[in-house]
Structure 1
Amino acid sequence: MGCLSSKSGVNVRATEFNHKILRYQKTTKSLEKNESIVDLYKLEQIIAILPYGNIVKAIHLPTSLLRSIKILNLKINESIYLNENHLRLEVDTLSKLDHPNILKIYDILHDDMKLYIIMEYWEGWLLFDKIKQEGILTEKLTGFIIEQVLSAVKYCHDNKVIHRDLNPKLIFMMNHLDKPIIKIGEFGSSSFIDPEHILEGKFDNSVFVAPEVPLGNYNEKCDIWSVGMIMYALITGRTPFTENLNDICEEIQKKGQINVKILEELGVSQLAIDLILKMLRYDYNQRISATEALSHNWFKLIKSNTEQINKNFEESLNHLSCYSSTSKLIDAIQEFIARQIISHKESKNLIEVFKILDSNWDGKLSKQELIKYYKRSIPEDDAQRLVDDIFRVADSDHSGFIEYSEFIKSSMARNILISKQHLEAAFKMIDCDNNGKICRKELQSILDGTSLSGDKKWMKLLSIADKNNDGEIDIKEFYDMLLEFQ
């Protein structure tokens, strides 16, 4: 997180936490005075080494769900501080990022010495390791990866988040190389877009960091430079520079652009070279945006859909059109399952479908985007009415869009979404005091931030579900409530 700042970097004031835990998901447990992270999670092997800590594989003890936990030291040395206000802003913003190419953050915990960021479990490779192993990737495969990176970058920029340090060591590959799903999972240098100010703050030299960043004068286009460098590395197996950033700046200023000779020698298409050059313009005011990059003709050249994708596509649209919600409370619980419990393995086919539907790459689905596909098989007026019906029940927060988790909740086969395993995990996560029963206060905690926040109508359903009238629901009553009222 960007909460770790040095005296030589962004000017911040050192502050201390008076709390044992910073939380945005009220369904997770606090670290009490005598409680340790190992009381909640079984920490297993290290899966990534970071400058100020590690990412480890972990098992959530109450539910046996796999998680990745980023463990950061709160105090590195006398010049590194934890900035409370900045941390709170980052957690609030990053926890709301809901995009198929960004690792989910479930919770933030801390004790006196360490910060624990509980994340979606990733099982696969770092993109950096894959580049080292494979050497050079095909244009088609490179395009499949870069489109996902740019989609995540555009989504971040639309939500006023700048990464600042994108590189292959911070990008995770979630499955096989033939058609990988990538996820950006490290926002340690992230900042926030302020239209009134140019960003300041210097970072260590890295060939993937935009040349303007070490000079302390930049905007969100610094992320586009990094994507251009990653694309070059994927296609050539190397970076265009072997010197430090000062030499890079001087070289580009003299030549006006990077040397494309090696790209031409490798037979890289002129469209790919054109996109790289536009992303690696030295003057960031002349550099293309994420939206412009995604609209580049190179992606049209390398795109193709397989039969399996088409099959998944049709199945998902059928589930989406059949989706109905008989209870807002049940709908909220199903979205909780989609956000917190559904694994990457279970949702990877839906990720591909979501990205096909999301034609403007903004990380959410509009009515127009859905109508476009439904009207292929039914008249446009019928498609309009169908999509209106879908939005009435799937758009839980009434934002006018279907966000990624809302799509997963609405388009996943119901027998998978509310399987016994998922319902049991959801019950244990909502049951904060671990007494085997859920009270109204615990259920209310998962409704904060939804359209049901402050709405007491859902309590009627809770009363019906509470068969033994003890004011709480046990796990059997919970099962019955979710299954009975479908």
Structure 2
Amino acid sequence: MGCCKSVINCENEVKPEEGKEENDLKGAEPFIRRGGRQKTVIRILTRQTIKCIVGHVSDHYNVKEIIGEGAYGCVRRVEHKATGVDRAMKTIMKSFVRLCEVKNMLLEVDILRKLDHPNIIKITEVIQDQRCYHIVTELCSGGELFDKIVEQEKFKEKQAARYMYQILSAVSYCHTNNVLHRDLKPENLLLVDHTKDSTLKVIDFGISRLTNYPSSPARKYGQPYYTAPEVFNGIFTDKSDIWSCGVILYIMLCGYLPFLGNKESQTIHQIINKEVEMPEKEWSKVSQSAKDLVLSLLDKDPYKRPHAMDALLHPWIQSNMHGISSNSYLDSVNNLINFRSRVKIQHATFEFIVSHLSTQQELRELQYAFMLLDMNGDGKLSREEIIKGIEKTNIKQLFDIEQVFEECDADGSDFIDYTEFLTAAMNWQITLTKKRLEAAFKTFDINGDECIDMNELKQMIGGTLDTEMYNEILKEADFNEDGVIDFEEFQKICTAVIK
């Protein structure tokens, strides 16, 4: 058993000078710092640690029904034996996969493990046996957006805008992290569940590329219907993904593709040469603001298309996002303010449970709360966004925004990322069960000797701290001072100071 590489670093963070007043708060009283502090930031990136197991799927999962099929294999629903959590497992037959496609698969895994966004599918582990590769991800049971479009024929503008907000937010986050998806289409957008307001997840990064990753000149685009005109000339940029978003929005508003020929070559010719048409029959009741956004996304000139972040701020998107609410918004914000987990092992375990062992049902309301706080849709929370979010509540307690970041910003990015928010906003009194602790402990106990030693701790927390720091982290939980952490010690340190 092994783990895909995690990233870790250590740096000094200098807090504001003495007497500096934080942003003026209305919902909560402002907190004035009474002295400068320095804090050593140990970056925890447990969510980026993906188990790469050589063995049998049946040792870890109960394999259930097929929920999707592709050119190289199928997708099944599986149940994690240790926790009972349902997952999706994409199986790829080795006999059908060439070496270059194996490299693409490994690149997809590497890309997905680094992306941390509420509207991007989360990968949990990879299992390899003699015949197959098995990629395990979170399960989305609501079906494809494509099927919902076929069922409803077209969406009301408010529904289309809210879906497009989620798509553009995910795309903007990808582009900020130098990832081009390159195959955006309704079939690669999954609904988390069957509820009316289900969120979307972008999936299938199989032909995605990092902007600094070499790409062959051969055909590397998805279905031509969603492909930008410049791609057929061998040019693919972030604006090419924006074109795909435009095609998806066009379909959601009228029910059919903007460019469709009798043959693929005719479709490509239309995409390159034909202007976008909006027939009166389907488009007469669509607002001018929605039409303007569609036309800007489908501009033939990629330089004139907006970036994803600019499209998110379009008046049509923003006006239709009003009225979204979350029943647990107040509880989530309150938990965020009061989160305390100074023990690194505890924090790393919480992140692992959120990333790998929690169900969509448990995360649903927290995801909505994150989206409400993330006002600009960039997939991360700034100090200003959190302060404004608190203003919307009736929380009156004193709080220190710098302390919130000190407790919650585990990777030292100066933002609270999605998983960091989930970790802090989760109700751990309910979520932290012995069963989940046992599953987390078994994951960290790589050699299976029923204890976590120094080498395993380094993989759990990260790998570039000096020996003294690792010793300090180990001592926090090694109560009997035998140089390792057994399950009893692990359980004790993880359940300490849970509010």
Given the superposition, is the C-alpha separation of residues 452 and 108 from structure 1 closer, same or farther in structure 2, using an over 3 Å criterion?
A: farther
* 1:325 to 2:325 alignment: no
Measure how far apart 1:483 and its partner are.
Answer: 1.8
1:15 equivalent in structure 2: none
Query: Mapping of 1:237-386 within 5 angstroms?
Result: 237-243=255-261, 244-251=263-270, 254-265=273-284, 267-306=285-324, 309=326, 311-375=327-391, 386=400
Query: Which stretches in structure 1 are left out of the alignment for 5+ residues?
Result: 1-19
Separation in 1, partners of 2:50, 2:145: 33
Query: Mapping of 1:57-72 within 5 angstroms?
Result: 57-72=77-92
Residue aligned with 2:163, SS: helix
Measure how far apart 1:479 and its partner are.
Answer: 2.2
* Per-residue deviation, residues 283-325 of structure 1 (Å, max 9, x unmatched): 222222111111111012322325x52x422211111111112
Identity %: 32
1:138 equivalent in structure 2: 156
Residue aligned with 2:237, SS: coil
2:44 equivalent in structure 1: none
Q: Is the 8 A contact 2:160 2:253 kept in 1?
A: yes
2:456 equivalent in structure 1: 442
Q: 2:192 aligns with which of 174, 198, 205?
A: 174
* 1:30 to 2:45 alignment: no
Measure how far apart 1:337 and its partner are.
Answer: 1.4
Given the superposition, is the C-alpha separation of residues 30 and 76 from structure 1 closer, same or farther in structure 2, using an over 3 Å criterion?
A: closer
Residue aligned with 1:115, SS: strand
Query: Mapping of 1:397-416 within 5 angstroms?
Result: 397-416=411-430
Residue identity matched to 1:247:
Q
Moved more, 241-250 or 92-101: 241-250
Separation in 1, partners of 2:49, 2:70: 28
Measure how far apart 1:56 and its partner are.
Answer: 1.3
Residue aligned with 1:125, SS: coil
Measure how far apart 1:59 and its partner are.
Answer: 2.1
Measure how far apart 1:262 and its partner are.
Answer: 4.3
Residue aligned with 2:346, SS: helix
Measure how far apart 1:471 and its partner are.
Answer: 4.7
Residue identity matched to 2:491:
Y
1:226 equivalent in structure 2: 244
Separation in 1, partners of 2:157, 2:117: 24
Q: 2:471 aligns with which of 456, 459, 472?
A: 456
Q: Is the 8 A contact 2:183 2:222 kept in 1?
A: no
Q: Is the 8 A contact 2:85 2:358 kept in 1?
A: no
* Per-residue deviation, residues 172-216 of structure 1 (Å, max 9, x unmatched): 101235211110121111112249x99844236431222332332
Q: Is the 8 A contact 2:149 2:255 kept in 1?
A: yes
Given the superposition, is the C-alpha separation of residues 220 and 146 from structure 1 closer, same or farther in structure 2, using an over 3 Å criterion?
A: same
Separation in 2, partners of 1:450, 1:416: 34
| Cα root mean square deviation, aligned | 3.0
1:478 equivalent in structure 2: 490
Q: Is the 8 A contact 1:21 1:109 kept in 2?
A: no
* Per-residue deviation, residues 85-111 of structure 1 (Å, max 9, x unmatched): 665554333211000001111223334
Given the superposition, is the C-alpha separation of residues 377 and 180 from structure 1 closer, same or farther in structure 2, using an over 3 Å criterion?
A: closer
Residue identity matched to 1:67:
R
Moved more, 290-299 or 20-29: 20-29
Query: Mapping of 1:82-121 within 5 angstroms?
Result: 82=100, 88-121=106-139
Separation in 2, partners of 1:336, 1:22: 13
1:5 equivalent in structure 2: none
1:235 equivalent in structure 2: 253
Measure how far apart 1:119 and its partner are.
Answer: 0.9
Alignment length (residue pairs): 453
Separation in 2, partners of 1:59, 1:420: 18
Separation in 2, partners of 1:21, 1:441: 12
Residue identity matched to 1:187:
F
Measure how far apart 1:396 and its partner are.
Answer: 1.0
1:211 equivalent in structure 2: 229
1:389 equivalent in structure 2: 403
Residue aligned with 2:74, SS: strand
Q: 1:56 aligns with which of 63, 73, 76?
A: 76
Query: What is the TM-score normalised by the length of structure 2?
Result: 0.82
Separation in 2, partners of 1:440, 1:30: 21
Measure how far apart 1:438 and its partner are.
Answer: 3.7
Given the superposition, is the C-alpha separation of residues 254 and 427 from structure 1 closer, same or farther in structure 2, using an over 3 Å criterion?
A: closer
Q: Is the 8 A contact 2:51 2:126 kept in 1?
A: no
Separation in 1, partners of 2:328, 2:466: 32
Residue aligned with 1:68, SS: strand
Measure how far apart 1:470 and its partner are.
Answer: 5.5
Separation in 1, partners of 2:389, 2:436: 31
Residue identity matched to 2:302:
Y
Measure how far apart 1:69 and its partner are.
Answer: 1.3
* Per-residue deviation, residues 40-66 of structure 1 (Å, max 9, x unmatched): 322221111122222111123344332
Q: Is the 8 A contact 2:53 2:126 kept in 1?
A: no
Separation in 2, partners of 1:177, 1:242: 32
Higher relative contact order (CA 8 A, sep 6+): 2
Separation in 2, partners of 1:182, 1:459: 40
Q: Is the 8 A contact 1:102 1:184 kept in 2?
A: yes
Query: What is the TM-score normalised by the length of structure 1?
Result: 0.84
Query: Which stretches in structure 2 are left out of the alignment for 5+ residues?
Result: 6-47
Separation in 2, partners of 1:219, 1:413: 41
Separation in 2, partners of 1:198, 1:438: 41
